[in-house]
Structure 1
């Protein structure tokens, strides 16, 4: 069954254009291989992301995101 998880988090540090490009490229590659769809926004140091797929895949990805040092203060919305 398809689920959606939306979360927000703060950037742990100031991200430059190269950092953002790396995040987008790795997210697109990893999410596509896992069959996860959604959207990622970054504005004023806050990530807003929606993830879509089955519960197991989305939960696994969200827990990897929680361990990513570029994120802090994550909250499911």
Structure 2
């Protein structure tokens, strides 16, 4: 199963589930819920944190947290 941490630049996915039910409430309030879209925008130096567009909200999250969010990839990367 792919996770948010597996996305490449520009890839989009639809959140499917969480591998653990311990996501911060604030993240869920910002739209990290099954059925919502997520897109990888940037990766910081040393690969952590990652910058995502989560249903219109731009967030920086730790890679360890991104690994808990399962998704279905819906759009392949665009060449940059």
Greater RCO (Cα-Cα under 8 Å, separation 6 or more)? 1
Q: Above 0.5 in TM-score? A: no
